[in-house]
Structure 1
């Protein structure tokens, strides 16, 4: 099936079911289908066809998301842009990815105006939530288009999503995801997620990232999408109770924010079946706390844009031991290979490593991207030995669970010892006064690299360097204990909410002639 087919099938089966809710407005499946069809036909009339790149620059907004469905109906390629990203990065994507159509929210009109000057390839501008001098407003424009559905051929290898990678080390690469990639991903989620009835999904993470993928999973299951403009801890907790949300996705930093709310125990979370987390490693201490607060519903997914969202999966039951208690060791795992994902661990020579040995996570099969857009060198680099290389080092235990050690290129070599930042971060994050942290290697005359922890302290708590170092030494020993701690008000985060460890590290190496 093409990606759009999953929505279309639910719209045919459940036309009168609520598909989306935003603030005080709701859309039935038949409403979304009509608007998406009209948008698709309007784009076809503007010469959008297979392989035409159409970008959407908006915070979470139902019309912006339905516009994405319209792009797919026109057989175009969706290029998601996050307003939280640097404007220079978004402008680069528009040009480098050959974007011809730009949907934008009214709040980004100044950027769209600049794009009209700097991106000559863009032929059509559409505003999703208000009038603009640059182009038509989506809903009235769509109302004048044909409501008749247009047939689309099954195209498993056709592009449907072209997304820029994080871009923390240079300009972003364009990941080419196909209908087959998303068909495999949908199969993984349909095989693993379990609901008593049609799911209610709370989209409070950016719909330009994983939240969009899970929204399509929701539509594929005939569920209801609750859209929040952005993540706000109190609004999220209230919505889970009021809307009887059955699943939600958030990155670890947002989960930490929920857990720090003084009234987090006062809400009813009994409707939750899956609280999905991913995108970055999570503190095992805070994960245990989340299980205590939200119940046995925590669900991990691991993937990358190149292998979307479902390389591995860890169910709520996997977080527990046979007696129902929390399995402390298992909390450090990213789960087992998902049902339709071919996953292995590989050494630098291309040999697969046995259980217990550390290797790089590699993936084959329908989940793997088509490649990087107009970048065959980068594509070849991550595709050696016939596998997609994730850059994540891990080992697999005797029960098949995979444990990520760290990013391959972020290992710290200090005094001849290899130290993985992730295990040090786990120790730092287990301190009750720590909200979040990043552990990096910094230049040091004696050690080559010295371990430094950069820490956010919880509001209302105090913490000294000596206290934290003593705490870490008791947890991980002297070799892995940071040599120093810097306290910071807010760590740098990506548009998806991930702490950008590379950006933290770069701050300490700017005066060096070497970077290792």
Structure 2
């Protein structure tokens, strides 16, 4: 592999070249300048090398949102090692499996997860370096002791490595459909993602700088969106824990220009009592993604003047397969582009998107098929899993597992995950279309549609609803359920109307907030509905 692509830490160094005394990381009233963060990364790289962790080694970081943990990630890059983000919401066994799969030799963690690490470290003999960022644990190095093992603070070319191998990150898939896989993301992949972000959305130019608010986990989409911010010399405001009121307050306080939330958190922001009174005028780009969004709630946000900006990608092709910047949410006359809101935007300039049938034939615009992509955004493959890599890259394209189509304007519409399509009475029903119809009902906060085995229909279209606050009593009877069914039937017809409707207090979700339809099917199956 060529070593010409930018390392993760090169984004930081680029930002530092624009002014080392500018704020880089901000959290709970404390600020780290670019020069200070650069200094941390050199010390981390030196300490890693002192412990025998050099180019190509795998280093895991287990932490909630934390500025020092994120600076450590950049230090891992400077050492030429590979960043392995570990989700702190995972169960201990899942994290043990991932760390073993990734061949990690070092693990950096915060004290809040010491018990989790202690429970699995005995099963991970390859991990020879354990570092606690913010406390004392008898079997791990303290942060200060770890840094002291390396050379003195300051630039040190010996540990500022550009490895020959392009690998930058190993990221675990969700593991919701079986054993998790390790996605190999290269420096080229992430450099492409950064370039697409900068060319696709509103972005200030010097002397103005972006300010990015990270409430969503830095181990997920919120983390990789930091790299274009760093390259622009912007500041990253880190929230240690989800707090919708605090999120709104920080936008106003720090004059935030960019932020990202998954749809479920966008809904919470829309419904928060402080939302209407908070000054959000500094926002240039309010990204949403990672799951389908209700067009009704998206319209709510647009009517408030929020600069909504969609992104569509997946771990294997991060973030930027297609984009819908704020301007694309409106027609030429300034009216909200209602018909376009259910799309995932247009394919980005450096990604080729196609629709493919099961036999590998590319389909014409308007035809529905699996969304397949090619380009420098696409992962190298799955770590130590040649069979899965070959399956995902059949016919020379990366297979996303999503079903969709391209409309006459070139907008990509995702109609379902291939595994979530329901065949009922001989008809193909896409669950996302039904979910959009249900989300248009004023009492519904969130929902999921699945197919359950049925002797008559083959699969029985079943909806599980999570209600908005204050609506809990409005759907408690069979009459109310019938009203919801009539509401959906009037919009998309009887074939796509759920034959079974359940109301649950909460929908089961993955560690990153996605609704777990497999768990819903399991619960409905065990209770008989």
**2:91 aligns to what?**
86
Whole-angstrom CA distance in 2 between matches of 1:218 and 1:505: 40
Are the counterparts in 2 of residues 156 and 179 from structure 1 also a CA contact under 8 Å? no
**1:334 aligns to what?**
344
**1:502 aligns to what?**
518
Q: CA deviation at 1:501?
A: 2.2
Whole-angstrom CA distance in 2 between matches of 1:144 and 1:245: 38
| Superimposed CA distance per residue, residues 113-134 of structure 1 (whole angstroms, 9 cap, x where no aligned partner) | 1222111111011111222212
**Cα 1:240/1:404, change in 2 over 3 Å:** same
Residue 194 (str. 1) matches residue 210 (str. 2): no
1:88 aligned counterpart, secondary structure: helix
Q: CA deviation at 1:149?
A: 2.8
**1:446 aligns to what?**
456
Map 1:400-411 onto structure 2 (within 5 A).
Answer: 400-411=410-421
Map 1:82-231 onto structure 2 (within 5 A).
Answer: 82-139=87-144, 141-142=146-147, 145-146=150-151, 147=153, 148-150=155-157, 152=160, 154=162, 157-196=165-204, 197-231=208-242
| Superimposed CA distance per residue, residues 45-71 of structure 1 (whole angstroms, 9 cap, x where no aligned partner) | 111122211111111011111111111
Residue 25 (str. 1) matches residue 30 (str. 2): yes
**Cα 1:185/1:155, change in 2 over 3 Å:** farther
**1:317 aligns to what?**
327
Moved more, 145-154 or 404-413: 145-154
Map 1:193-342 onto structure 2 (within 5 A).
Answer: 193-196=201-204, 197-293=208-304, 295-342=305-352
Are the counterparts in 2 of residues 51 and 76 from structure 1 also a CA contact under 8 Å? yes
Whole-angstrom CA distance in 1 between matches of 2:385 and 2:405: 30
Q: CA deviation at 1:222?
A: 0.8
| Superimposed CA distance per residue, residues 6-33 of structure 1 (whole angstroms, 9 cap, x where no aligned partner) | 1112123320000011102110000000
Whole-angstrom CA distance in 2 between matches of 1:156 and 1:215: 24
**Cα 1:13/1:110, change in 2 over 3 Å:** same
**1:392 aligns to what?**
402
* TM-score normalized with structure 2 length: 0.94
Unpaired runs of at least 5, structure 2: 1-5
2:367 aligned counterpart, secondary structure: coil
Are the counterparts in 1 of residues 50 and 149 from structure 2 also a CA contact under 8 Å? no
1:361 aligned counterpart, secondary structure: strand
Q: CA deviation at 1:284?
A: 0.6
* Residue 52 of structure 1, aligned match among 57, 65, 70: 57
**Cα 1:320/1:270, change in 2 over 3 Å:** same
Map 1:463-482 onto structure 2 (within 5 A).
Answer: 463=475, 464-482=480-498
* Residue 391 of structure 2, aligned match among 381, 389, 394: 381
Whole-angstrom CA distance in 2 between matches of 1:190 and 1:156: 26
**2:3 aligns to what?**
none
Are the counterparts in 2 of residues 55 and 81 from structure 1 also a CA contact under 8 Å? yes
**2:8 aligns to what?**
3
Whole-angstrom CA distance in 2 between matches of 1:501 and 1:279: 15
1:34 aligned counterpart, secondary structure: helix
Are the counterparts in 1 of residues 356 and 362 from structure 2 also a CA contact under 8 Å? yes
Are the counterparts in 2 of residues 157 and 179 from structure 1 also a CA contact under 8 Å? no
Q: CA deviation at 1:138?
A: 2.1
Whole-angstrom CA distance in 2 between matches of 1:168 and 1:119: 23
Aligned length: 511
Moved more, 124-133 or 404-413: 124-133
Q: CA deviation at 1:157?
A: 5.0
Are the counterparts in 2 of residues 336 and 401 from structure 1 also a CA contact under 8 Å? yes
**Cα 1:424/1:180, change in 2 over 3 Å:** same
Are the counterparts in 2 of residues 20 and 28 from structure 1 also a CA contact under 8 Å? yes
Are the counterparts in 1 of residues 14 and 232 from structure 2 also a CA contact under 8 Å? no
**Cα 1:140/1:202, change in 2 over 3 Å:** farther
Whole-angstrom CA distance in 1 between matches of 2:239 and 2:420: 34
Unpaired runs of at least 5, structure 1: none
Are the counterparts in 2 of residues 19 and 219 from structure 1 also a CA contact under 8 Å? yes
Whole-angstrom CA distance in 2 between matches of 1:236 and 1:370: 36
* TM-score normalized with structure 1 length: 0.96
Are the counterparts in 1 of residues 55 and 161 from structure 2 also a CA contact under 8 Å? no
Q: CA deviation at 1:500?
A: 1.9
